[in-house]
Amino acid sequence: MEWLMVAFVALVLASQVRSDEVPYEHMISQLQACPKECHCPPNFPNAVYCDNKGLKRIPVIPPYTWYLYLQNNLIDVLSTDVLRNATQLRWINLNRNKITSEGFGVDALKALSNLVHLYMEDNLLTSIPSPLPVKLEQLRLSRNRISKIPAGVFSGMDHLTLLDLQSNKLQDDAVTEVSLKGLNNLIQINLAKNQLNSMPLGLPPTTTQIFLDGNNIEKIPVEYFKGLPKVASLRLNRNKLANGGIPKNVFNLSSILDLQLSHNQLTEVPVISSGLEHLHLDHNKIKSVNSSDICPPGALDDYLDENGPRLRYLRLDGNEIKPPIPRELMMCFRLLRAIVI
């Protein structure tokens, strides 16, 4: 009788699901195999919702599952064979559980050759899990206890574009060219709120977004960005940067659009590129802003130059600057739409 009810629901809703996405027989199989602890909506048959159930172990997952939601549980082990039948998984959310590196089974993800998103934020990991599925595009491991990145863990990870490791315990010796080797197409890396004293080494040249807020970085090497030609967004808020630790033209990059240096120890505005659009300098120790210091060379001469300064947003609040804003500053940055002082 129960099987007939499942079949009836599937038949009623079959018209809502594209046949080329979910074959009818797969949908029936999914509904029949749905774990009793979870919810498998007939109108979204490739998804299994097991979140907020107080689970201590992962139940048997139906074979045609693409999206698996296990967040907000008490799971402390990801055993080697627990996902062996869920070979079609694309997306797993294991945020806010109690999984440790010791509880992460060897080859626990081996069968998941189609996995592209892995969320394991707010767990108890001390190391990045290995091996990882080679098709993975996003790996989110923020708010764990990770202090090491095993050498070779990213080998063959050509599809990974986003790596989120914020709020862990990574130090300078953990983030190196060796540990990051293999991230040939990385776009965004988040290393905010770790224990870094220096700019991380070994970032691939494809990196466009670098988040380093809340570390202990005091200086930037002169040619640090020489091998990073695509950096568009750089966040260094809440570090220990002073003007002595910032080489004169280190931020004068043609690619950069967003530069955030809030809550540091700057006393002067650093040299910026004409293409920069967002500049955050709030809560430093800057006493004055002169157009000669911040305005790119030649900007005041070419009033209608299309290649002139692109700055649109500027934050200077929390410094020692007193109004009014110099007229030359406004003349230089003619596209400025908001300035906070």
Distances, alpha carbon 155 to alpha carbons 59, 135, 160, 176, 180, in Å: 31, 12, 11, 14, 9
Q: Is the per-residue pLDDT at 18 higher than 60?
A: no
Q: What percent of the chain has pLDDT over 90?
A: 76
Distance CA 131, CA 160 (A): 14
Burial class of residue 297 in the structure, from the number of CB atoms within 10 Å of its CB (0-12 exposed, 13-18 middle, 19+ buried): exposed
What letter does residue 29 receive in the DSSP assignment?
H
Confidence class for position 300, pLDDT limits 50, 70, 90: low
Which secondary-structure segment (H or E) carries 329? helix 327-332
Contact 204, 229 (CB under 8 A): no
What value does the mean pLDDT of the chain take? 89
Give the SS3 label for residue 332.
helix
Contact 173, 198 (CB under 8 A): no
Give me the pLDDT at residue 299, please. 61
Pseudo-torsion of CA 216, 221, 224, 225, nearest 10°? 90
Give me the pLDDT at residue 112, please. 95
Q: What percent of the chain has pLDDT over 70?
A: 90
91, β-bridge pairs: 67, 117
- Nearest Cα neighbor of 22 from 88, 92, 84 is 88
What letter does residue 15 receive in the DSSP assignment?
G
CB proximity list for 50: less than 8 A, separation 6 or greater: 35, 37, 38, 39, 58, 59, 68, 69, 70, 73
Q: Is the per-residue pLDDT at 19 higher than 50?
A: no
| Stretch 268-292: mean pLDDT | 92
Give me the pLDDT at residue 292, please. 73
Give me the pLDDT at residue 303, please. 52
